[in-house]
Amino acid sequence: MGVYASWVWEATGDNLNDFARGIKLLGLLGEGIVLAALARFAGLPAFVAYATAPAAILVSAWHGNTDTLMAAFVIVAAIAFDRDRFFTAGLSFGAALNVKLLPLVLLPLLLIGAPDRRALWRICAALALAAVPYIPLLVTSAGDLYDNMIAYNSIPNDWGLNAFFNQAVQQPELEGTFTPIRDAFLDYGRYLVLAGVIALALASRARLHFSMVEQFALGGSLFLLLTPGFGVQYTILVVAALILVDLPYGIAWAWLAGGFIAILYSAVPLTDFSIKHESNEHLLVLWALVGVLAWALLALFVWQTLSARYRRAATIGG
């Protein structure tokens, strides 16, 4: 993405307005990939649901973030896996990692879910091929690569558990209790996410037998539920997967997450590419409320999906 950004900057003659348009092209390409996949494998309702999803529109066409391209490769990887195209699945997942490293949290699902050794080797071979662009960075800047990508923990914004912890530490009577809890969560929350995803992968392989699209929807939701660092663009990670797995949940998430993003952008307006210091406090309160509802929706999806599959597995086993 850095190489692409430098190309766009050179091609647009250092013009910030033209650069802003050019940098959006990859994200919009990702949207096209997702829409094509949904049209082919899920039909018109899923296509329309994603095409009108405010979360997708705001992240790609307005914000101009490349997370939509990352999410496109992730969902293609899941669809390919479920159709026994394991090399394609690994290659597409590796392409997602060449956009951002965020999908690493879902990698255990792909590896543990491989049905046999041959499938696993195909996935790993494709991932190795996709890792080639990282080799020059590992040779010349391994330390910087680790500091800025592996050790990076995003921003502890008011989302999910952090929203509760951040409010708690601002209360004098709760500060002493919750400050060390929040600090520990910021330091070790990523391992909580990873543990949850690995547990999901093992449970699916042993008993629950989720498809990979279902696993990515659940794993991405677990990430968003437990992440210690958050950016509003992360919401795009599960939009397509939720639409594929459960259309009502997918639509609800796309609109709640989209409202969450839109309110934030309205509360902290942008003028000439600079963030104004004065924010609309009333809108920020509404933003927090919508964020709680969006977070709760994911929690409900995970709970209902897991409990329904456990009941089904128990019935079959019994």
Helix (H, G, I), strand (E, B) or coil at 130: helix
Q: How many CB atoms lie within 10 A of CB 28?
A: 15
| Average pLDDT value over all residues in the chain | 90
Considering only CA atoms, which of 91, 77, 115 is closest in space to residue 220? Answer: 77
Give the single-character DSSP code of 133: G
Average pLDDT over residues 221-239: 94
How far apart (Å, rounded) are the C-alpha atoms in residues 32 and 152?
29
Residue range 260-315, pLDDT digits in tens: 999 988 887 655 444 444 557 778 888 889 999 999 999 999 999 999 999 998 88
What pLDDT score was predicted for residue 279? 59
Residue range 30-69, pLDDT digits in tens: 999 999 999 999 999 999 999 999 999 999 988 888 999 9
- Ramachandran category for residue 45: left, alpha or beta (phi over 0 → left; psi -120 to 50 → alpha): alpha
Cα-Cα-Cα-Cα dihedral sign, residues 302, 304, 310, 316: negative
Q: How many CB atoms lie within 10 A of CB 248?
A: 11
What pLDDT score was predicted for residue 275? 44
Query: 211: Cβ–Cβ under 8 A, 6 or more apart, which residues?
Result: 78, 82
pLDDT at 259 exceeding the cut of 80: yes
Going from N- to C-terminal start, the domains of the chain cover 2-317
What pLDDT score was predicted for residue 317? 66
> pLDDT-derived band of residue 3, with 50, 70 and 90 as boundaries?
confident
